Amino acid sequence: MSKNNGSIPNNLSLVEKAIKEAKAPNIIHHRGDLNKVTSDGKEFTRQEYIIIPTMGQKVKCTPYDNHFVYRDARKLGWVLFCTCGSPAVVINYDAYKNHGSSQGALLACKAQIDTNEHNPVNR
Between residues 117 and 45, the one the model is more confident about = 45
pLDDT value of residue 31: 77
| 15 lies in some domain | no
| 4 lies in some domain | no
Q: Is pLDDT of 22 > 70? A: no
| 73 lies in some domain | yes
In this prediction, residues 28-47 reach a mean pLDDT of 86
pLDDT value of residue 24: 65
| 19 lies in some domain | no
Host domain of residue 86: 27-115
**Dihedral of CA 115/69/30/24: which sign?**
positive
| 42 lies in some domain | yes
Put simply, whether the predicted model's pTM sits higher than 0.75 gets the answer no
| 20 lies in some domain | no
Amino acid identity, residue 29?
H
In this prediction, residues 56-70 reach a mean pLDDT of 90
Cα separations (Å) of 39 from 34, 45, 56, 64, 102?
14, 11, 25, 18, 30
Cα-Cα end-to-end distance for the chain: 36
